Amino acid sequence: MNSNIAIVCSGGDASGMNPALKRFVEYSYAKGLNPYFVRNGYEGLIDNLITPATYQDVSGIITRGGTKIGSARSLRFKEASYRTIAADNLRSHGIDKLIVLGGDGSFRGMERFYHETGIAFCGIPSTIDNDINGTDYCLGVDTALGVIRNAIDQIRDTASSFRRAFVIETMGRNCGYLALISAITSGAEMCLIPELPIDIHEFSGCYRSQIQKGRDYFIAIVSEALNSREVSEWFENELGFESRVSVLGHIQRGGSPSVYDRLMAYKFVTYAIDALLEGNSHSVICYNKSHFNFKTIDEVALHPHQLDPELLTLAREQFLPSHCQM
């Protein structure tokens, strides 16, 4: 008899989840598995929102951001009594394997669930923040970076026409990855991220000199963990330069998945299903230096994420006030 496998999205949605769902259904059938969807994250495990998945369900979704099956942050799943209900629901459908698209908190919860129930899982790192320890890449970050690039390029059009400093706030929770990559690739003057403490007052002399020589706009990228309004006030009060804050917000979570996110979704799901079939019962599939590998939950969730040291070195050279070009 075919065995049954389910997929669930947990936490903040990310572009690339729909391509992952499509591959999940197609590859499951190819491997003789019966695929199921769990709707609305771990909430759906508890509420038994578990249904067989068909080819029709995933037809045409590869181009769409978000996730067709919904996602959620579940507080109830943290309670053992609800996890028991979730396990009973899965067993009632004959499901003993799960693919989880989510972040380290979701994997940690699933690890506990595995030890309590024996239901195997493989986690696929999925978050635009790209802040999961142990993997260089998380599903969705490439699309988010594309959305941010487009937004900054367009803001530059108006900034350059109107002699203003634009302070553009990106998402990322406590991680500066989105802000840093965006600042480098959009040619921003300033980049403020939690990982690189900077006293902006040290820019005063350099920026004044640049203004005297003709600079007529600034682009400053600020990670959401820092205070973009204060930065904008600094431009106005310290430099007398008109300034606006633009908080990009949740547009960063949407958009048609990039080619890279689609391809990575395809590979992640393929290798995750292979691993479950080979008996790898509780791991996270990671991507490091162009190679896929499987890590334990402790390897990805025990330590906080740290920005790639090479990136940080580049960031120092580019964005520290001491490197500001007069």
- CB contact burial 137-162 (16+ within 10 A = b; e otherwise): bbbbbbbbbbbbeebbeebbeebeee
Q: Taking Cα atoms as reference points, which of 97, 143, 102, 105 lies closest to residue 124?
A: 102
- CB contact burial 55-80 (16+ within 10 A = b; e otherwise): eebbeebbebbbbbbbbbebebbeee
Is the Cβ of residue 12 or residue 66 nearer to ligand F6P in the bound state? 12
Q: Taking Cα atoms as reference points, which of 223, 219, 234 lies closest to residue 189?
A: 219
Is the Cβ of residue 159 or residue 307 nearer to ligand F6P in the bound state? 307
| Shortest separation between residue 62's beta carbon and ligand F6P, angstroms | 22
Is the Cβ of residue 218 or residue 268 nearer to ligand F6P in the bound state? 268
| Shortest separation between residue 174's beta carbon and ligand F6P, angstroms | 8
CB 192 within 8 A of CB 198: yes
| Shortest separation between residue 144's beta carbon and ligand F6P, angstroms | 8
DSSP string, 12-54: S--TTHHHHHHHHHHHHHHTT-EEEEE-SHHHHHHTT-EEE--
Residues near ligand F6P, by CB under 6 A: 12, 127-129, 171-173, 224, 253
CB 7 within 8 A of CB 98: yes
Q: How far apart are CA 241 and CA 176, in angstroms?
A: 26
Q: Taking Cα atoms as reference points, which of 75, 123, 74 lies closest to residue 103?
A: 123
CB 262 within 8 A of CB 21: no
Residues 6+ apart with CB under 8 A from 215: 207
| Shortest separation between residue 13's beta carbon and ligand F6P, angstroms | 8
For residue 98, give the 3-state DSSP assignment: strand
Q: What is the largest CA-CA distance in the chain?
A: 77
Is the Cβ of residue 129 or residue 261 nearer to ligand F6P in the bound state? 129
| Shortest separation between residue 187's beta carbon and ligand F6P, angstroms | 23
Ramachandran sector of residue 318 (left: φ over 0; alpha: ψ -120 to 50; beta: rest): alpha
Q: How far apart are CA 271 and CA 144, in angstroms?
A: 24
Is the Cβ of residue 223 or residue 243 nearer to ligand F6P in the bound state? 223
Is the Cβ of residue 130 or residue 210 nearer to ligand F6P in the bound state? 130
Strand partners, 35: 5
| Shortest separation between residue 173's beta carbon and ligand F6P, angstroms | 4
- Examine the residue annotation and report whether 47 is marked as an active-site residue of this protein: no
Per annotation, catalytic residue among 96, 129, 131, 261: 129
Is the Cβ of residue 172 or residue 176 nearer to ligand F6P in the bound state? 172
Catalytic residues: 129
